[in-house]
Structure 1
Amino acid sequence: MGLKKPIQKKTNRFKYWIGRLHLWLGLISGLFVFFLGITGCILAFEREIEDAVQSYRFTSEQNKPLLPPTQLKAIADQALPNKKAHSINYQPGRTTQVVYYHDAPAYYYIVFVNQYTGKVLKVKNMDEDFFRIVIMGHYYLWLPPEIGQPILTTATMIFVFLLISGLILWWPKSKAARKQRFSVRLKSKWRRLNYDLHNVLGFYMTFIVIFIALSGMVMGFQWFAKSVYWVSSGGKSMKVFEETFSDTTSTAKLSLNAAAADKLWAKFVKEDPTFTGSYDVHIPENEKLAVEIAKNPDPTTYWKADYRYFDQHTLKEIEVKHMYGKFSNASIADKISRMNYDVHIGSIAGIPGKIMAFIASLIAASMPVTGIIIWLGRKNKKTKSLKSI
């Protein structure tokens, strides 16, 4: 019996310091966690909201031939001169999107072109798009990426610790306490209700939001992304994405990149005429780059896409070593890395996954608020106790 008391004291001491760290790290990161949670809620149903309010995104399927990539690009170039097209996206029932994206000078536009008639339906500056603006805040805090991203990712890393420490503090000491930890007593006083909302909802939310937080860290910290890959691959290093190049010494050159992209796209469509997913055709900007065609069987996610690269002069397929190649060649570690964004937004599990991500983000945003109310309540209680002495 004499051995039990020191062990209990040691346990209490451990929980005391965990509680102090939980408090102060929560106060430090709380505002950022609240911001990430709210913006995460806004972005959870981005695609569904855009589809509901932007009719130009849809073009009914017709019994007519589709215009080839280079023709759609030429039409879009006229609507948006002096910009370089990045890709042309085809998807049954949806308007073809010619995407213009560039780092320096920085710009991001999408030209929506009817793939049967060539009519331009919309020229959209994505830098003025509501969801794009929210994404820039969610990723970078509207600061330069090299400043904003480390701030938010560090806050996310602290939040992961808060989730784990919260579980330790929540863990019931006895069966009697356990009965009270799994439900919110709605009829209790508001301070007790706030306490239950923080602890009980925090417990249930942890098992979902920890994946959202960890996937955010993968996008924010390269060292973390490489570490996850190293663990999931059994000790292999992540191969860095590199541009794929054509053989410029070839004597069998086609006319510069145009004919190659159209021929390859036509071949893909002919080989799989019932395909209901999406094609992204990347027309090379110069004679050195390869033609890239991404075939995605499920456009609501990204991880299953088949990335194929071809020499623009010979049409010969080029094998790549990084994870963004053929899906059939992707290792378990490659697939886990590819899933990261889909896990982050919940789309990996379809609409139910997005609903869970939305609810988890909303609860995560509430954690700093309910936590501060608990802290202020305890602080005021201590102040009153001191005054009564």
Structure 2
Amino acid sequence: MSKKRKNPSKLRQLNNWLHLWLGLISGIVVFIVSITGCFYAFQQEIKDSLEPWRFVEVQNKPYVAPSQLLDTAAVYMPNAKPTGLTYANVDGAAAVGFGGMENGKRTFSVVFMNPYTGEFLKKQQPIGSGQFDFFRFIIDGHRALWLPYEVGRPIVGVSTLVFLLLLITGLVMWWPKNWKKSNRDKSFKIKWKAKFKRLNYDLHNVLGFYALLFALILGITGLVWSFQWFDKAVYFIASGGDIKEMGHHHPHSNLENKTLAWNDSLSPLDKAWYKTLEIDEQVKGMYMTPILEDEDDPIEITVYHQEGSWYDHNEYFYDRYTLEPLEQEGSKFSEASFADQLFMMNYDIHIGSVFGLAGKVFAFLISFICASLPVTGFLVWWHKKKKTSKKNSIYKGS
């Protein structure tokens, strides 16, 4: 006599119910966010291959000073205020960015120049001015589902939270009832030669398990930008109880020196740039803000130490009136606390660049699996629904 099949517990039934309906509700959002994440992981590589003006021939001489680049850029962007200046690696073009407004929308233009000569290379059309920009389209979908940001970002944030819950409830559903070989095979192996229904189930069940930990990491690093409370909570845990100060923090210039005359032939920004080159010997890229807004703002120069990633950097601050070096706790990656280092790495972890090109490929694959889960999950539910409907129709007709 065969044993009766034991019904799942109430908790297991609740878990399965949550996994089903939360998945159906958030599936489209999870798919869009994940598939756009696949494209965005390689945005730098794709841009580099399609935009040759981003590169220059390496020359055996120093870069020109920031003021020369700013003067050249101003010729092509008259009456516009430069918002950022970037030096890339040895074969990369320098770039000056200009933020602006057009028809009530924020725009951003970039002038590319040869950092060895200051020669103009390319003026990139304003992003956000109505002309199609593929990666602007991708990031708008990833962050806000192509809706207004004040509407789309909360939807993405909540759906990402739901996705984390789906990963946990999915793990509970995946967990084998016992660890016999047949159950282990179902949980860890995809039966590639099976019929579509079984193959689809394995793709959802098995791939979901293998991607779970990394999908959690992608979700958590994304949520850091979605909700301040989540950002603060992660920092609180990582730091062992410290409260994170929100926003950008920096030391301040001494306003008592405001009336001092500047007698050097070099501009304060150029002088600070030369000082930074003397201090930091691992420069792989630099970024600075050319125009300071407030009277007590310091000159701030960020030096990047690794090509293709952003986390390993030092920030140098100088009094804008005297160029006295100023210190800011946590401004240098190697000297920062674990929690601050973790948050400096957040973007690179999210797109996989923390491990170079191999990390980006891996992040692409995990994002692709995450995009597939709502599709395969929906098909699992659809097949079960059809099977149940068929049984009910047979029962009613008997």
* TM beyond 0.5: yes
Identify the residue that residue 30 of structure 2 maps to in structure 1: 33
Residue 337 of structure 2, aligned match among 331, 340, 346: 331
2 CA distance for matches of 1:123 and 1:248?
37
Residues 129/247 of structure 1: CA separation in 2 closer, same or farther (3 Å cut): farther
How far apart in 2 are the matches of 1:276 and 1:334? 21
Q: State the distance in 2 between where 1:68 and 1:270 align.
A: 14
Identity of aligned residues (%): 38
Answer whether contact 1:90 1:96 (CA < 8 A) is retained: yes
Q: 1:207, CA displacement in angstroms?
A: 1.6
Please say which of residues 48-57 and 111-120 is displaced more in the overlay. 111-120
Where 1:111 maps in the other structure, the secondary structure is strand
| Residue 307 of structure 2, aligned match among 299, 308, 312 | 299
* Per-residue Cα deviation, 1:87-132 (whole angstroms, up to 9, x for no partner): 2111211000112236897222221011223222111223343112
C-alpha distance in 1 between matches for 2:293 and 2:14: 60
Could you say which residue in structure 2 is the equivalent of 1:219? 225
Is residue 2:96 matched to residue 1:98?
yes
Q: Secondary structure in 1 aligned to 2:99?
A: strand
The residue number in structure 2 matching 1:149 is 153
Q: Residue 386 of structure 1: which of 381, 389, 392 is its match? A: 392
Q: Residue 342 of structure 1: CA displacement?
A: 0.8
Structure-2 separation of matches of 1:343 and 1:287: 33
SS at match of 1:293: strand
Mapped pair 1:373 → 2:352: no
Task: Give yes or no for the alignment of 1:314 onto 2:322.
Answer: yes
Say whether the 8 Å CA contact 2:28–2:374 is kept in structure 1: yes
AA at the equivalent of 1:353 = G
- Find the aligned partners of 1:364 and 1:153 in 2 and give their Cα distance: 16
| 1:141-184: CA deviation from partner (whole Å, max 9, x where unpaired) | 22332221111011011000001110110000112212221011
Distance, in Å, in 2 between the alignment partners of 1:83 and 1:313 is 25
Instruction: Report deviation, 1:284.
Output: 2.9
Aligned to 1:290: 298
The 1:258–1:160 alpha-carbon spacing in structure 2 relative to 1, beyond 3 Å, is farther
Structure 1 residue runs without a partner (length 5+): none
Q: 1:21/1:252 Cα in 2 relative to 1: closer, same or farther (>3 Å)?
A: same
- Aligned with residue 340 of structure 1, among 336, 346, 352: 346
Paired with 1:284 and 1:249, the residues of 2 have a C-alpha distance of 20
What CA distance in whole angstroms lies between the structure 1 residues aligned with 2:15 and 2:294? 59
Q: Are 2:142 and 1:138 equivalent residues in the alignment?
A: yes
Contact 2:306 / 2:312 at 8 angstroms: preserved in 1? yes
- Counterpart in the other structure of 1:204: 210
- Assess if the C-alpha contact under 8 Å between 1:254 and 1:312 holds in 2: no
Q: CA deviation at 1:275?
A: 3.6
Q: Secondary structure at the match of 1:307?
A: strand
Q: Is the 8 A contact 2:164 2:216 kept in 1?
A: yes
Instruction: Sort the Cα spacing of 1:229 and 1:271 in 2 relative to 1 into closer, same or farther, 3 A.
Output: closer
Q: Tell me, in whole angstroms, the C-alpha distance in 2 between the residues paired with 1:123 and 1:246.
A: 34
Cα separation, 1, equivalents of 2:117 and 2:279? 24
Q: Which residue of 2 aligns with 1:17?
A: 14
1:271 to partner: Cα distance: 4.3
Q: Secondary structure at the match of 2:287?
A: strand
What whole-Å deviation, never above 9, does each CA across 1:309-355 have from its counterpart, x for those lacking one? Answer: 1111100122235x4x2334411110111111111101111112111
Residue from 250, 262, 266 that aligns with 2:270? 262
Aligned residues: CA RMSD: 2.2
Displacement after TM superposition at 1:286 (Å): 4.5
Deviations 1:208-237 (A, max 9, x none): 111001100111111000000001111110
Task: State the number of aligned residues.
Answer: 379
1-side partners of 2:135 and 2:50: how far apart?
13
Which consecutive unaligned segments of at least 5 residues does structure 2 have?
A: none
Whether 1:121 and 2:121 are equivalent positions in the alignment is yes
Secondary structure of the 1:64 match is coil
Residue of structure 2 in register with 1:64 after alignment: 61
* TM-score, with length taken from structure 2: 0.90
Bigger shift: 202-211 or 58-67? 58-67
Deviates more, 1:307-316 or 1:172-181: 172-181
Kindly provide the amino acid, as one letter, of the partner of residue 64 in structure 2: L
Aligned-pair CA distance for 1:53: 1.7
